[in-house]
Amino acid sequence: MDTKYPGLEGLSLSTDGVDLPIPTPVGQPIELKARDIRRERTGVHAKIGIFLGGGPLAFDSFNVSRSEERQRLVKAAHKGLSEPQQAALPLGTFTLIFNLFCLWLSQEWELQRVTVRGFNPDERVVQARLLVRPYVLDHGGTIFFGPPEAGKTYVLLLMALCLVLGDCRFWDLQRRPVCFVNLERPPDSVEYRLHRLCAALQVRPDPGLFLVHGRDIPFAMAMPKLQALRRETPGVIFIVDSLSRIGAGSLTEDDVARSDIALLNSLGTTWIALGHTPRGSGEHLFGSMHFDAAADIMVSVKSERQETRLGVSLEVTKGNDIARPPMEYLSFGFGADGLDRVGRGQSWEYPELVLGGKVPRAERVKQYLEDVDRATADEIAAKTSIDARHVRTLLQTPMFQRAGKDGRATLWGLTPP
């Protein structure tokens, strides 16, 4: 890149940091690398390494404005060079280049990270693309939140499989590689759920599904590995389970929320995170309002358990640049070995989810008949989980009418308005 600093003409920037190759006429190339560049109270700090042919000569993390740390690091690296290399790159020259490199970091790094541009009303701008309609924006951030045991992990493992396979049976989506970052559960738990989902869907995922297990480790510790994966895997989407394990501190603190979101955004690609709701309330995400403010899309996840089935509702509670879609329902069935079937759910199947458990029986029957048009009393009872005696009583009201026969059984439908 162009630079007003002589000797730094080979400087290159990336989302990870800054690199500077130092040409030498003898031996392997030397390179300076700065990572984890950040401004702290005392100035700009960075982790800086000096490499010879890809191997480290010296590295340290320090305030780049402090002369003592710079001199110590460059001297240590120079001692690691061979005598011909030391002669070709004297310590004084090496020190000058290193000092210029650190000066650039302290004065230019932040300026290079911010672009100021004028608005051009004639420029054609493409609308943000949905990778999973209506939940995931390309290069955006989505938070799915709900109480414990609401089916959040199953939903996002299902979404991960569909993305990797390009399977649109549940959502309109764009095929993408996915990395599921498990900070919450034992590895076997997540991988068993994936195996059960694959069996239920009768699919075998492509190599584009990656798993990172790091139960109870700080998310920041996994960042170098995740950023390397992002560089090697174009378009990868990260799913992080969960916000509470990112590890920066109490989720109710605004500074912690901003720090956690900054970590997710530093992935440099699309991310999805799982969050929890406060004890006693399933209406909002637990933690600082800055989580809600920073996410492009927020999705409330609720569930209703019925013997061997788990009904899950997905409701968009915040959506930047999208229309609010209707609530969506998924149905997970369980047998002796765990999950064994997955499908779309219907509102009449899970009345507790529709209006918080306040759906009258007549309304549940009405919703079911709106979906299927006609059904027998026994079919209605089985599908709506209403006692057959109550169904037969409801069908005698003016809301419903006879709609034909199925063998000897009477079919029922809705009375036209």
What is the reported pLDDT for 127? Answer: 72
What is the reported pLDDT for 3? Answer: 58
Q: What is the mean pLDDT of residues 286-303?
A: 90
What is the reported pLDDT for 383? Answer: 83
What is the reported pLDDT for 279? Answer: 66
Three-state secondary structure along the chain?
A: CCCCCCCCCCCEECCCEEEEEECCCCCCCEEEEEEEEEEECCEEEEEEEEEECCEEEEEEEEECCCHHHHHHHHHHHHHCCCHHHHHHCCHHHHHHHHHHHHHHHHHHHHHHHCCCCCCCCCCCCCCCCEEEECCEECCCEEEEEECCCCCHHHHHHHHHHHHHHCCCCCCEECCCCEEEEECCCCHHHHHHHHHHHHHHHCCCCCCCEEEEECCCCCHHHHHHHHHHHHHHCCCCEEEEECHHHCCCCCCCCHHHHHHHHHHHHCCCCCEEEEEECCCCCCCCCCCCHHHHHHCCEEEEEEEEEECCEEEEEEEEEEECCCCCCCCEEEEEEEECCEEEEEEECCHHHCHHHHCCCCCCHHHHHHHHHHHHCCEEHHHHHHHHCCCHHHHHHHCCCCCEEEEEEECCEEEEEECCC
pLDDT digits (tens, 9 = 90+) for 109-151: 888 888 888 888 888 877 778 999 999 999 999 999 998 889 9
**Does residue 226 register a pLDDT over 70?**
yes
Dist CA 227 CA 267 (whole Å): 6
Pairing assessment for the beta strands 237-241 and 55-63 based on DSSP bridges? unpaired
CATH entry, 130-348, from 3.30.70.260, 3.40.718.10, 3.40.50.300, 3.40.1190.20: 3.40.50.300
What is the reported pLDDT for 358? Answer: 55
Return the closest-CA partner of residue 160 out of 47, 240, 276, 46. 240
Pairing assessment for the beta strands 237-241 and 178-182 based on DSSP bridges? parallel
pLDDT digits (tens, 9 = 90+) for 314-363: 999 999 878 889 999 999 999 998 999 999 998 878 877 776 655 678 87
Dist CA 197 CA 190 (whole Å): 11
**What is the distance in angstroms between the CA of the first residue and the CA of the last residue of the chain?**
71
Q: How many CA atoms lie within 13 A of 355 on its CB side?
A: 8
pLDDT digits (tens, 9 = 90+) for 209-219: 999 998 877 88
What is the reported pLDDT for 335? Answer: 92
Domain boundaries, the chain: 12-113, 130-348, 360-414
Residue for token digits 């440099």?
Answer: 268
Q: What is the mean pLDDT of residues 290-305?
A: 90
Q: What is the mean pLDDT of residues 367-396?
A: 88
398 or 274, which is more confident: 274
Q: How confident is the model at residue 280 (pLDDT cuts 50, 70, 90)?
A: low
Q: Is pTM, for the whole model, over 0.75?
A: no
5 or 136, which is more confident: 136
Residue for token digits 């002796």?
Answer: 336
What is the reported pLDDT for 126? Answer: 73
What is the reported pLDDT for 232? Answer: 94
126 or 305, which is more confident: 305
Cβ(49)–Cβ(67) below 8 Å = no
Q: How confident is the model at residue 29 (pLDDT cuts 50, 70, 90)?
A: confident
What is the reported pLDDT for 357? Answer: 53
pLDDT digits (tens, 9 = 90+) for 53-96: 888 999 999 999 999 999 999 999 999 999 999 999 999 999 99
What is the reported pLDDT for 120? Answer: 86
What is the reported pLDDT for 350? Answer: 81
Q: How many CA atoms lie within 13 A of 21 on its CB side?
A: 10
Q: How confident is the model at residue 281 (pLDDT cuts 50, 70, 90)?
A: low
**Does residue 2 register a pLDDT over 60?**
no
CATH architecture of 360-414: Orthogonal Bundle (1.10)
Question: What percent of the chain lies above the pLDDT cut of 90?
Answer: 55
**Does residue 12 register a pLDDT over 70?**
yes
pLDDT digits (tens, 9 = 90+) for 245-258: 887 677 878 888 88
What is the reported pLDDT for 114? Answer: 82
**Does residue 220 register a pLDDT over 60?**
yes
